[in-house]
Amino acid sequence: MYENKENHNVPEVTFKTRVDNDWKEVTSSEIFNNKKVIVFSLPGAFTPTCSSTHLPRYNQLASAFKEHGVDTIVCLSVNDAFVMNAWLADQEADNIYLLPDGNGEFTEKMGMLTDKSDIGFGKRSWRYSMFVDNGTIKKMFIEPEKPGDPFEVSDADTMLAYLAPDASKPSSVALFTKPGCPYCAKAKELLNKHGHTYEEMMIGKDVTSVAMTAVSGRNTTPQVFIDGKHIGGSEDLETFLTA
pLDDT per residue as tens digits for the range 100-155: 999 999 999 999 999 999 999 999 999 999 999 999 999 999 999 999 899 999 99
Flag whether pLDDT at 225 surpasses 80. Answer: yes
- The single residue of 50, 75, 181, 184 carrying the catalytic annotation is 50
Q: What was the pLDDT predicted at 170?
A: 78
Flag whether pLDDT at 169 surpasses 80. Answer: no
Q: How far apart are CA 23 and CA 32, in angstroms?
A: 20
Flag whether pLDDT at 87 surpasses 90. Answer: yes
Q: What was the pLDDT predicted at 176?
A: 95
pLDDT per residue as tens digits for the range 226-240: 988 999 999 999 999
Phi, psi of 202 (to 5 degrees): -90, 130
Q: What was the pLDDT predicted at 171?
A: 83
Q: How far apart are CA 62 and CA 160, in angstroms?
A: 10
Amino acid at 39: V
Q: Is 181 a catalytic residue?
A: no
Q: What is the pTM of this model?
A: 0.80
* SS3 readout for the chain: CCCCCCCCECCCCEEEEEECCEEEEEEHHHHHCCCEEEEEEECCCCCHHHHHHHHHHHHHCHHHHHHCCCCEEEEEECCCHHHHHHHHHHHCCCCCEEEECCCCHHHHHCCCEEECHHHCCCEEECCEEEEEECCEEEEEEECCCCCCCCCCCCCHHHHHHHHCCCCCCCCCEEEEECCCCHHHHHHHHHHHHCCCCCEEEEECCCECHHHHHHHHCCCCCCEEEECCEEEECHHHHHHHHHC
